[in-house]
Homo-oligomer: A and B are copies of this chain.
Amino acid sequence: VLRLPNLRQRKYHPYSLTDLYYFANLVKLIQFGIKKPFTEVIKANIGDAHAMGQRPITFLRQVVALCTYPNLLDSPSFPEDAKKRARRILQGCGGNSLGSYTASQGINCIREDVASYIERRDGGVPADPDNIYLTTGASDGISAILKILISGDGKSRTGVMIPIPQYPLYSAAISELDAIQVNYYLDEENCWALNVNELRRALNEAKAYCNPKVLCIINPGNPTGQVQSRKCIEDVIHFAWEEKLFLLADEVYQDNVYSEGCQFHSFKKILYEMGPEYYNNVELASFHSTSKGYMGECGYRGGYMEVINLHPEIKGQLVKLLSVRLCPPVSGQAAMDIVVNPPVPGEESYAQFIKEKESVLNNLAKKAKLTEDMFNKIPGVHCNPLQGAMYAFPRIFIPSKAIEEAKAHKMAPDMFYCMKLLEETGICVVPGSGFGQREGTYHFRMTILPPVEKLKILLEKVKDFHIKFLEKYA
């Protein structure tokens, strides 16, 4: 008889990332089941650019291929600037091979390239390669830092402040580490802005039952797509300084800013510009990734984090923790190097690189506007501007009859809505309840990654579905 170990109940978020796979299974069932009123499933549920047809950036793949099979370094069909980078990366590898372990913090020369990138990005604010840690995607870095910061002993549990709506990696990690999730709500009426008064409310209430130590920010926002203003970031930093909170800045969408008048400001840069009282005291970890931006290389599981003002003792613990997984995948480290060290003017590959990069980003900007406009034409749907990132998070009106039916099926109302949408149109999106939302409001997250023509059809289908849904449950 199979025995069921008396499992500690793992309190993953009810519709966490994992539900991508429940959805995928559902999709399989649908495909092999009875005939459905659609011919194709469109997976708009996950930020998986290449799966939606985006082409890899040629230069990145050339460099990684050269590192993988160094015989190609003699091939005339690869450009010199790619070969130069590949040689440099291989020199950083034991035995000049991607197959060797690297230091658990990552290859030195790549960490140097990351530091140079950050300095360029932040207009000269210094960055120390010793503060850079290469990671297995951003998720790995976020989990590791949370693990180190959350202490389970003593009287009160650690509180971690996260935005609502949030990317569910945070709620899953907090729950797994047995910490307390402290919600602060983004202001939907005000384009999902982060308001410091709301931070203060959340913190003060939380102090009654936990010890809040960490403040997580996602900028540009996932799933909400807002881009924070400089003023807002200053306010948040001042608040973190005042309240002695460790700042976690999830900045993986830093290259994905579309709206006019919006600009990405890194927390690191603003922190520096606020002066030494802040810059020498506020603890900050910032995360980046190969998966988003214009590269979209999710499968390489590449990323880095920059951590400043970390207490040396904790830094020792962090390095120790990271070394248990030996090292991040080395081809992911190589891919990360190209994200931070792409071709520059004067190099052979520059023209093609810029063309490919701008094509991806211009397309995303176009689709962001298109999606906002189309959603706002649907009755009972409201969508804030998609200033950045790669998702729409429209608010949807769900009639009370539909809410009742959802309850009868023991489903959250927006889950019920998304399931119906999938069954009737083949479009796969994620219910807002997977990210958190103000009670009584309903949303879903949809990527803007499908090609423009497909996205238009998709949005038309959502519109038709929504109108019929309102009629049916009126």
Q: Which residue of B lies closest to A52 (CB)?
A: B95
Contact residues, A1-31 vs B (CB, 8 A): 1-8, 10, 12, 16-18, 20-21, 24
Contact status B4-A313, CB under 8 Å: yes
**Set of chain B residues within 8 Å of A77, measured between Cβ atoms:** 75
- Say what secondary structure dominates the interface of chain A: loop
The answer to whether B326 and A329 have CB atoms under 8 Å apart is: no
Task: Establish whether residues A324 and B65, one from each chain, have CB atoms under 8 Å apart when the complex forms.
Answer: no
Question: Does the CB pair A139–B325 fall under 8 Å?
Answer: yes
A323 touches B17 (CB 8 A): yes
Q: Is A48 an interface residue (CB 8 A)?
A: yes
Is A246 a contact partner of B6 (Cβ separation < 8 A)?
Answer: no
Q: Which residue of B lies closest to A102 (CB)?
A: B299
Query: Is B327 within 8 A of A299, CB to CB?
Result: yes
The reply to whether the CB of A321 lies closer than 8 angstroms to some CB of chain B is: yes
The CB with the most chain B CB atoms within 10 A, among A176, A301, A328, is that of A301
Report the bound CA distance from A239 to B274 in whole Å. 65
Stretch at the interface among A54-62, A109-117, A342-350, A371-379: A54-62
Contact of A288 with B by CB under 8 A: no
Is B100's CB under 8 angstroms from A299's CB? yes
Is A468's beta carbon under 8 Å from chain B? no
Q: How many Å lie between the Cα of A298 and that of B69 in the bound state?
A: 16
Select from chain B the residue with minimum beta-carbon distance to A333: B299
Contact across chains for A321 and B10 when beta carbons are under 8 A apart:
yes
Is A304 an interface position by the 8 A CB rule? Answer: no
- Residues on B with C-beta less than 8 A from A93 are 50, 299
A99 touches which one: B299, B317, B329 (CB < 8 A)? B299
Q: Given A68-B65, A95-B52, A103-B21, check contact A5 B324 (CB 8 Å).
A: no
Q: Does A248 sit at the interface, judged by CB under 8 A?
A: no
Q: Copies per complex? A: 2
In chain B, what residue has the closest Cβ to A107? B299
A136 touches B329 (CB 8 A): yes
State how many angstroms separate the Cβ of A342 from the closest Cβ of chain B: 16
Cα distance, A49 to B94, chains bound together (Å): 9
A101 interfacial contact with B, CB 8 Å: yes
Contact with B along A305-322 (1 / 0, CB 8 A): 000011101100101110
Asked if A169 CB lies within 8 Å of chain B CBs, one says yes
Q: Assess whether B95 is in contact with A53, with CB atoms less than 8 Å apart.
A: yes
* A324-B50 in contact (CB<8A): no
Q: Give residues 320-362 of A contacting B (CB, 8 Å).
A: 320-321, 323-332
A47 smallest CB distance to B (angstroms): 9
Asked if B319 contacts A18 (CB within 8 A), the reply is: yes
| Residue A296, interface by CB 8 Å | yes
CB-CB under 8 A from A298, the residues of chain B are 99-101, 326
In chain A between 116 and 142, which residues have their CB closer than 8 angstroms to a CB of chain B? Answer: 136-137, 139-140
Binds B, one of A147-155, A228-236, A440-448: A147-155
Q: Are B48 and A100 in contact (CB under 8 A)?
A: yes
A77 CB → nearest B CB, Å: 8
Residue in chain B with minimal CB distance to A98: B299
- Report yes or no: B317 in contact with A10, Cβ–Cβ below 8 A: yes
| Residue interface bits A39-55, CB-to-B below 8 A is 1, else 0 | 00000001011111110
Measured CA separation A369–B172 after assembly (Å): 50
Contact A4 B97 (CB under 8 A): no
Beyond A64-B68, A65-B72, A173-B324, 11 extra complex contacts between A and B, CB < 8 Å:
A2-B310, A4-B314, A7-B317, A12-B324, A16-B320, A16-B324, A17-B324, A50-B93, A54-B95, A56-B99, A99-B295
Cross-chain pairs A/B with CB under 8 angstroms, 10 sampled: A2-B311, A5-B246, A7-B313, A17-B326, A20-B323, A99-B297, A100-B299, A101-B299, A137-B326, A301-B326
